[in-house]
């Protein structure tokens, strides 16, 4: 079964929200600066959403690790 492009977009956004929160928390713990953490998070959210979208679309074209659905005949 092939995934639609909009599914990849929704997965991209939901994953980046979680990932950006993680990046901001780690950045804050390392720098101690909320402004710096927000700055790092705002930059990486854009770049990683773009990278993830294309990564997801490429993987969608590969058959690696997929099992072919059995053909049922009645």
Tens digit of pLDDT for each residue in 36-68? 999 999 998 888 888 888 988 898 888 888 887
Cβ atoms of 49 and 17 within 8 Å: the answer is: no
The band of 8, judged by pLDDT with boundaries at 50, 70 and 90, is confident
The band of 29, judged by pLDDT with boundaries at 50, 70 and 90, is very high
pLDDT at 30: 96
pLDDT at 3: 74
pLDDT higher at 29 or 4: 29
Count of alpha carbons within 13 Å of 50, Cβ hemisphere only? 4
pLDDT at 58: 92
């Amino acid at each position: 079964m092939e995934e639609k492009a909009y599914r990849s977009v929704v997965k991209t956004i939901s994953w980046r929200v979680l990932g950006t929160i993680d990046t901001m928390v780690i950045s804050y713990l390392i720098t101690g600066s909320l402004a710096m953490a927000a700055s790092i998070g705002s930059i990486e959210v854009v770049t990683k959403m773009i990278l993830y979208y294309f990564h997801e679309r490429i993987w969608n074209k590969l058959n690696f690790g997929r099992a072919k659905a059995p053909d049922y005949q009645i």
